[in-house]
Every structure is written in C-alpha cells, then in structure tokens.
Amino acid sequence: PYDVLVIGGGPAGSSAAIYAARKGIRTGIVAERFGGQILDTLSIENFISVKETEGPKLAQALEEHVKQYNIDVMNLQRAKRLEKRDLIEVELENGAVLKSKSVIISTGARWRNINVPGEQEFKNKGVAYCPHCDGPLFAGKDVAVIGGGNSGIEAAIDLAGIVNHVTVLEFNSELKADEVLQKRLYSLPNVAVHTNAQTKEITGKDKVNGITYVDRETNEEHHVELAGVFVQIGLVPNTDWLEGTLERNRMGEIIVDKRGGTTIPGVFAAGDCTDSAYNQIIISMGSGATAALGAFDYMIRNTEE
C-alpha cells in the first residue's frame, strides 16, 4: 500500500505529493488531467515571486518538480470511489483499486459555463472567470459580469475599481447577492445593472468585442460593446464521486480542519475542492502542503509499519 495517496494533480495535489515524498514515505498521485485548471489559464501574474508566467508552463514546471521525487504518477486516471476499511481504498474508473494508509483529496473545481456562442471560442481572449486573476488585464476597458449572486456582485465591485465600466447581467428579476454588496454596487458611478437579462451571445473577431442579451420582459435584443466578459455563475467542486462518504457543505465543498483533515480519519483534502474561503494557486499549494503534513502527522501516530 501507499503511505500517502493523492487524488488530483493540480497545484494542491502536486504540492501535497512533493511534501509527502520529502518525508521519505511511499507516495502516489492519481490525476485525471495533470496540471488541473492552470492548463486553461493564459497569463498568471499573482503567483508570488514569479512576475509572469503562463498556465501550461506552470503545469509543466509542477510536473517536473513532482518527477524529481520518487512519486508514482498515474496520469489520465479518474477516481470514482473511496472507502475506509483497514486501509483506505480508492477505486479508479478503469477498475483498479489502490490502497493507502492516508489519502489527500485535491480534485479541484470547475467554473460553471454559461454555454452561449462565443464562450468557448473566446476563452482567454476576453472571456474570463477569475476577477482576482484577470481583472487587471482589462484596466481602463469596458467589461460585463454575468451573474448577480455574491460572486458576481463581488466581481463587479472589484472590477469597477480597475476597469472603465462594468455591465452586470442577471437572468432573474432581481440580484441574489447580499444586501450590503448590492448597496455597495449601486453606490458606484461606473456600473450598470440589467436584470431579466438572458445572455445570448459573446461576440468578437479574434477577441471579445461585445455581448448580446435579451430583455426577458420585452423580448428586445440588446448589444453592448466591451472588451471582456466575466462569467460568475458558480464554481462547482469536483466532489460528486464522494457522495455518502465524508462531510461536505451545501455547495459540495469538503469541510476541512486546520490540518486539512476531513470527517474520515486518515483522509485529508486541499485546494479548490475544500471549503477554503478563496481559490487561488498560491492558496491551494499552501493547503496541499498543510494536508501532506497533516497526513504525515496522522501516519506516525496511527498506523503501524
């Protein structure tokens, strides 16, 4: 069996695997797609000490760093079931069952797509999902935020301080964000809010040049010229496969303690799949390190040679 088996090969999982392997213990990492979300990221400017890099470059650096150690890398493999017996068992989609004394879950999350024409085509060419990451790329320009929940309105407030103008599009008849956020939003001079607005298309040539929406009350179509669209309709943790095992919150995020521990002894979690307050590369790497140290601590106390 493994001492530590990491499920997920993004920033959190890579960090966890390296920290575990450096303790000289048997470490494995299973990843559906090694690199994770950063493979879909163009420019990264907030990975502290690296002024600027690109997602695929950082993913390659992660993989090289992991391969520097004696770590079993099982790429292109998806975990589908976890069960605690004497050891913790993880079953893969291909039928294999891996056993380990401790497990670190770092299966990340995915942004919910709006699924309108232009979204896929202009990803990283004006279509963005993370205001902390990509907001500054639109300094002085006009942008739209799709989604009037907390994350959408937080994004709009954040962006209004950086960009020229923000248009908020909400499908329903009112914003769902907390009252205090709405108040803040409406106090800003460079924001327009459209409710009952159904996004129809993100337009552009080589990059985004506008957005088309339908006013659901009048059925009229409107087009707004702008340079960027932030889709803020939810971040979904990749934890469905854990249904009925460990405790998750209402959003499906795994609840962790300060060592990354979950409600199953020996099972730890890190990164975007957990209930951490913020989702960023530097944060998920930190929590991966925490979970690995937590797992090591657990092992030296609870398992025999």
To ligand FAD, the closest distance from the beta carbon of 10 in angstroms equals: 2
The annotation status of 149 as a binding-site residue, yes or no, is yes
Q: Give me the DSSP letters along 215-277.
A: ETTT--EEEEE-SEEEE-S-EEES-GGGTTSS-B-TTSPBP--TTSB-SSTTEEE-GGGB--S
To ligand FAD, the closest distance from the beta carbon of 138 in angstroms equals: 13
Question: What's the Cα-to-Cα distance from 279 to each of 76, 108, 131, 262, rounded to whole Å?
Answer: 24, 9, 11, 18
Which stretch in 11-19, 20-28, 171-179, 256-264 sits in contact with ligand FAD by CB under 6 A? 11-19
Residue numbers 170-209 binding ligand FAD by CB under 6 A: none
Nearest to ligand FAD of 28, 193 (CB atom): 28
Residue numbers 227-266 binding ligand FAD by CB under 6 A: 238, 241
Q: Are 160 and 183 in contact (CB under 8 A)?
A: no
CA distance 215 to 230: 19
106 near ligand FAD (CB under 6 A)? yes
Nearest to ligand FAD of 181, 270 (CB atom): 270
Contact with ligand FAD (CB under 6 A) among 4, 7, 155, 291: 7
DSSP label at 124? T
Which has the closest alpha carbon to 150: 175, 171, 169? 175
Residue 173 structure tokens? 């008849």
CA distance 174 to 196: 8
SS (H, E, C) 177-213: CCHHHHHHHHCCCCEEEECCEEEEEEEECCCEEEEEE
To ligand FAD, the closest distance from the beta carbon of 198 in angstroms equals: 24
Whether the CA torsion 72, 73, 74, 79 is positive or negative: it is positive
Nearest to ligand FAD of 226, 269 (CB atom): 269
To ligand FAD, the closest distance from the beta carbon of 305 in angstroms equals: 28
The annotation status of 97 as a binding-site residue, yes or no, is no
Q: Is 27 helix (H, G, I), strand (E, B) or coil?
A: strand
Which stretch in 33-41, 161-169, 186-194, 199-207 sits in contact with ligand FAD by CB under 6 A? 33-41
280 near ligand FAD (CB under 6 A)? yes
Contact with ligand FAD (CB under 6 A) among 8, 126, 147, 149: 8
Task: Return the half-sphere exposure (C-beta side, CA atoms, 13 A cut-off) of residue 88.
Answer: 26
Which stretch in 60-68, 104-112, 167-175, 186-194 sits in contact with ligand FAD by CB under 6 A? 104-112
Residue numbers 34-93 binding ligand FAD by CB under 6 A: 34, 36-38, 40-41, 44, 46, 78-79
Instruction: Give the residues lining the site for ligand FAD (CB under 6 A).
Output: 7-13, 30-34, 36-38, 40-41, 44, 46, 78-79, 106-109, 111, 129-130, 133, 238, 241, 271-272, 279-282, 284
Binding-site annotation: residue ranges for NAD(+): 142-156
